[in-house]
Amino acid sequence: MEHPIIAIIGGTGKEGMGLALRWANAGYKIVIGSRQDEKAIMAAEEINHRLGINSVIGLEYAEAVTKAEICVLTVVQSAHQQVLQSLKDVFQGKILVDATARVDYQNPRPPDPPSAAQQAQEILGPTARVVAAFQNVPAKTLTKAIDQPIDADVLVCSDDIPAAQLIIQLAKAAGLRGYYAGYLANANVVEGLTSILISMNKHYGIKDARIMVSGISDDS
Amino acid sequence: MEHPIIAIIGGTGKEGMGLALRWANAGYKIVIGSRQDEKAIMAAEEINHRLGINSVIGLEYAEAVTKAEICVLTVVQSAHQQVLQSLKDVFQGKILVDATARVDYQNPRPPDPPSAAQQAQEILGPTARVVAAFQNVPAKTLTKAIDQPIDADVLVCSDDIPAAQLIIQLAKAAGLRGYYAGYLANANVVEGLTSILISMNKHYGIKDARIMVSGISDDS
């Protein structure tokens, strides 16, 4: 099967850039989406330059979504609802991967339900295939040693299991292990893990506490 | 420092028995608490017999709490509020470790806030030192090979950091790695992890998916 085209909505931020780098490096066609197309083009050129390729392109949000089969949402949490509202029409029928973790880094506490991904599903309606993933992956680990696997696991939640399975493959292509972690409602727990990881980092004076899954063999 | 006396409230259930076995085996004085003292005495005798000791005793709930410095609550979730209400007076000044995960095993979904441990704090008032821990440890792994460490980590949440640190030591004594995971509010996320673990078990056809912490060295 040919690789699907991936749009990174909010692709000029650190998390989006990190995922884009790794997927482009694994041979995926990447579209960087930004509010302003000049910023998107600059980010795309930065990735092309780093990887010695020319396949990554930059476009304004709606055009980026239109070009792609899978859209990964990595905008800042304050822009989450507004971006989804404005792109509602173009998202229909696409897989939307919501990487939003609603957390205050200064004062971490678990977010109230519903999860960001459930809010996305509510805004986009039932034909969008919403998957929650990548909320806990530290951005800086994505951009370092991009050929190397990362020992942080990705909990993938969706009501659409085939869509979740595609995203588990995408996680693998980025050097991460992905696991199906239940329905979209469970994504609120995954967002809350960010609050736990920040609390651990503060308490132990470290920067990259991570959650791993144990007990599931690679061929499960 | 001498080991504190530990009461297991709901100590005749699988989780409570498992923790009691491991702590008794590590040299802690254990009091099994049950609604009926005959059941508590039988459970205590079972542990004494298995370990070839005679230090574990069984008492009715309130007497068990009174005897102990640390009380670990492992009652079924439907009894959680009522047991706390009925023991409110004897819990004052004690450390209460709440191991309750509010989850429906048939239809797992994240519990609504506040966490069970926050509800416990609310019922007991500010002088009880409430810690949330051990919500995700599969009971059957506790009772097997009790001398061996378990590769499941314990996320310890509390507003009282010295109390949390004592419980991290207790986790270690039971063969588990414990980590301080933030304030009591974060315990709702830890309860929700049970929903994720059950979802994983169902999806992958396994029985003991576990969450591990990575990135924190043992001497942090």
pLDDT tens for A125-158 read 999 999 999 999 888 889 989 999 998 899 999 9
Q: Which residues of B touch A203 (CB under 8 A)?
A: 180, 182
pLDDT level of residue B220 (50, 70, 90 thresholds): low
pLDDT on residue A196:
97
Q: Which residues of A touch B152 (CB under 8 A)?
A: 214
Tell me the β-bridge partners of A33.
A9, A59
pLDDT tens for B124-144 read 999 999 999 999 988 888 998
Subunit contact A211:B208, Cβ cutoff 8 A:
no
Q: Average per-residue pLDDT in chain B?
A: 95
User: What residue of A is the nearest CA neighbor of B203?
Assistant: A180
Count interface pairs A-B at CB distance under 8 A: 129
The Cα of A19 is separated from the nearest Cα of chain B by a number of Å equal to 21
Subunit contact A188:B192, Cβ cutoff 8 A:
yes
Tokens found for residue A58: 């930059």
State the greatest distance between any 2 C-alpha atoms of chain A, in Å, as a whole number: 46
Alpha helices by DSSP H, listed for chain B, are: 14-25, 37-51, 61-67, 80-91, 116-124, 139-143, 161-173, 187-204
- Is pLDDT at B219 greater than 70 in this prediction? no
CB proximity under 8 Å: B 172-201 to A: 179-183, 185-186, 188-190, 192-193, 195-196, 198-200
The Cα of B206 is separated from the nearest Cα of chain A by a number of Å equal to 7
Mean pLDDT of B75-80: 94
pLDDT tens for B25-51 read 999 999 999 999 999 999 999 999 999
pLDDT on residue A104:
87
pLDDT level of residue B11 (50, 70, 90 thresholds): confident
Interchain contact A218–B (C-beta under 8 A): no
Who among B152, B181, B198 is closest to A200 (CB)? Answer: B181
pLDDT per 10-residue tile (average), chain A, 220 residues: 91 93 97 96 97 98 98 95 97 96 89 96 96 92 92 95 98 97 97 96 93 83
CB proximity under 8 Å: A 138-167 to B: 151-152, 155
Subunit contact A215:B220, Cβ cutoff 8 A:
no
Interchain contact B113–A (C-beta under 8 A): yes
pLDDT on residue B105:
85
Subunit contact A181:B190, Cβ cutoff 8 A:
no
In whole angstroms, what is the distance from residue A79 CA to residue A57 CA?
23
DSSP string, A29-85: -EEEEESSHHHHHHHHHHHHHHHT----EEEEHHHHHHH-SEEEE---GGGHHHHHH
